[in-house]
Amino acid sequence: MIAGNNQAYQKMTFSWEGPALAEDKATFLNYKMEMRFTDPDGNSINVPGYFAADGNAGETSAESGNIWRAHLLPLKAGKWEYEVSFLEGGNIALASGNSEGTSLAFDGQKGNFTVTPADESQNGFLGKGKLQYIGEHFLQFTNGDYFFKMGANAPEVFLQYKDFDGTASERDYKDHVADWKAGDLLWQGDKGKGIVGVINYLKEQGINSHYFLLMNAYGDGKAAFPWKGKDDYYLYDVSKLDQWQVLFDYMMQEGMMTQFVLSEQENQSYFENNEGGDFADSRKIYYRELVARFGYLNAVTWNIGEENGWEKEPTYGKSITTSQRKQFAAYLSDLLPYEDLIVVHNGPSSTDAIFEDLLGDPSYSGISFQGNYQDVTHGYGRMLHWRNASAAAGRPWVVTYDEPYSSPEYPELDVWRKNSLWASLMAGAAGMEVYIGKGEDLVIQDYRKYAAYWEIMNHAKNFFTESGIPFQRLTPMTTEDNNSWVLSVDEEVFVVYLREGGEGELNLPSEVFEIHWFDPRTGEWSRNEALKEALGGEKTALGKAPSQPDLDWVILLKKKKD
């Protein structure tokens, strides 16, 4: 009944035998499983459960069975208690309470279990706990570590993989089969090597997040959805979802955040167009089924939709309203047992107006920003605007530049590095993702084509996470120099980005500062032998870069300790 190693920060699975059922509409609408867990300190969380067919559908491809299941990510060691609810009733899965249902099978069963302390030497996120929103501009794991995101935005059709059940695709990631290693994840014998190889490759490049669609019926790719078919939005494919789950578990083990994009521009009103109203029952079930199966994952971004609010046609692509965006996020937030990041993505790249009415909303904890990769006012100005505006509204957003839009396919590396990557980070963004342009984002299978971008992103991540600075506390400073952007912490640490090189200068406190130079192209550190330290006080000369002074450089200044 309980599977897992009963260790903090790692998945536990609770399985129960109920009535024999199949993958049909009544199963997902008329039965409702929930578990209430109480931690050693007396705090409780509710976790939705789900129909798991024979309990091993990822291997057997079973479509029927009597197993119901829920997952917990325990964040504290000690004695836990649980109580399970299992009810039957017309549309009971949509009910906000449980009074309408009829008790059956294992309903009302109680128990307890003991969780051992976390092992922080575990791989990936398994030694860190749950990544959650804490009312700041960066997300934090249970163990106190902050997260600095560097991710892949393409391909958005990542889940259109031929080894998943019920997926009509020839996508096989053959170029990454060699990145699979003996002992890595597989299912149904020999399946999974290509997509697991992708995760292994990205990890080696320092990438720690991937953006992808969980539902693109009638969208760009048209083959990734959690159902039996693109119009079967009440018939969840249990074996496919089990296979997704084992992949996502592997991503947690390898330190790869999942950004679940729940819809796209072309199908943003798919559910409501089919059923009517502002918030279709089928969308509510969709959210519930996803949270039940994946809400325990250590690091997740829940993205309400790609290019949300951009209308190209009035049916499935009908524009979502501000009211709907708020309703959808609130419903999702209520389902989630933890404070996961909830965002929405703007579109087209020329406008970010949808964010304005979401400032201060209690359900949104960040934004997934799209802009033009060449436009520095997007990379720096708009990122800084939303960071500051959200803080002023009382709910600071985790702001990330997830789609520096590019057309044609390949963004010019030097422009992208300056106007997208470093521009957003110097505006106080919590990370970014690289987007490979229109057309390529749907066909890419060999991630090695974009090695230059991964390398530059990894250099940036290493600068902020391995240089001993509290990156989560860095705050953008206003300067009069259009060539430089500045971040600072407590007037003791300063980061200066010289977009076009030249000589650096900065208003510094009357203290002695060590001067270190970082090359964002190579990731190498060096020093100007003629000026290793500077005494602050009004405008302070920082000197020139040790080499190639006409190119962009980063200067790190640290107050010298006595």
pLDDT at 530 over 90: no
Give the model's confidence band at 96: pLDDT under 50 very low, under 70 low, under 90 confident, else very high. confident
Q: Which of 50-59, 293-302, 442-451, 529-538 has the lowest mean pLDDT?
A: 529-538
pLDDT at 475 over 90: yes
Question: 411-431 b/e with 16+ CB inside 10 Å = b?
Answer: beeebbbbbbbbbbbbbbbbb
In percent, the amount of the chain with pLDDT more than 90 equals 93
State the Cα–Cα distance between residues 213 and 305, nearest whole angstrom: 9
pLDDT score for 99: 67
Tell me which H or E stretch contains 292. helix 281-294
Cβ-Cβ contacts under 8 Å for 184 (sequence gap 6 or more): 193, 196, 200, 250
State the Cα–Cα distance between residues 490 and 492, nearest whole angstrom: 5
Give the model's confidence band at 378: pLDDT under 50 very low, under 70 low, under 90 confident, else very high. very high
State the Cα–Cα distance between residues 206 and 152, nearest whole angstrom: 11
Cβ-Cβ contacts under 8 Å for 80 (sequence gap 6 or more): 37, 38, 39, 40, 74, 112, 113, 114, 115
pLDDT at 480 over 90: no
3-state SS of 21-82 is EECCHHHHHCEEEEEEEECCCCCEEEEECEECCCCCHHHHCCCEEEEEEEEECCCCCEEEEE
List pLDDT tens digits, range 254-272: 999 999 999 999 999 999 9
Ordered strands of the 2-3 beta sheet: 2-3, 12-22, 64-72, 50-51
- Any idea what the Cα angle at residue 423 is, between residues 417 and 426, rounded to 5°? 125
Give the model's confidence band at 219: pLDDT under 50 very low, under 70 low, under 90 confident, else very high. very high
Give the model's confidence band at 98: pLDDT under 50 very low, under 70 low, under 90 confident, else very high. low
Dihedral angle over CA of 225, 292, 56, 89, nearest 10? -100
State the Cα–Cα distance between residues 422 and 432, nearest whole angstrom: 10
Q: Which of 114-123, 367-376, 404-413, 454-463 has the lowest mean pLDDT?
A: 404-413
Tell me which H or E stretch contains 13. strand 12-22
Closest-CA residue to 67 (of 58, 78, 79)? 58
For 295-431, where are the alpha helices, taking DSSP H only? 322-335, 376, 383-392, 413-416, 423-426
Closest-CA residue to 525 (of 503, 498, 546)? 546
pLDDT score for 410: 86
State the Cα–Cα distance between residues 39 and 81, nearest whole angstrom: 7
Which domains, ranges and CATH numbers included, belong to the chain? 2-115 (2.60.40.10), 149-466 (3.20.20.80), 473-559 (2.60.40)
List pLDDT tens digits, range 60-88: 999 999 999 999 999 999 999 999 999 99
State the Cα–Cα distance between residues 297 and 375, nearest whole angstrom: 35
List pLDDT tens digits, range 143-185: 999 999 999 999 999 999 999 999 999 999 999 999 999 999 9
**For the chain, the helix, strand and coil percentages under 3-state DSSP, each to the nearest 5:** 25, 25, 45
For 357-449, where are the alpha helices, taking DSSP H only? 376, 383-392, 413-416, 423-426, 440-443
Q: What is the DSSP letter of 321?
A: P
Give me the amino acid identity at 294. F
pLDDT score for 538: 79
State the Cα–Cα distance between residues 97 and 332, nearest whole angstrom: 16
Q: Is 122 exposed, middle or buried (0-12, 13-18, 19+ CB in 10 A)?
A: middle
Strand, helix or coil for residue 492: coil
Residues in the chain: 562
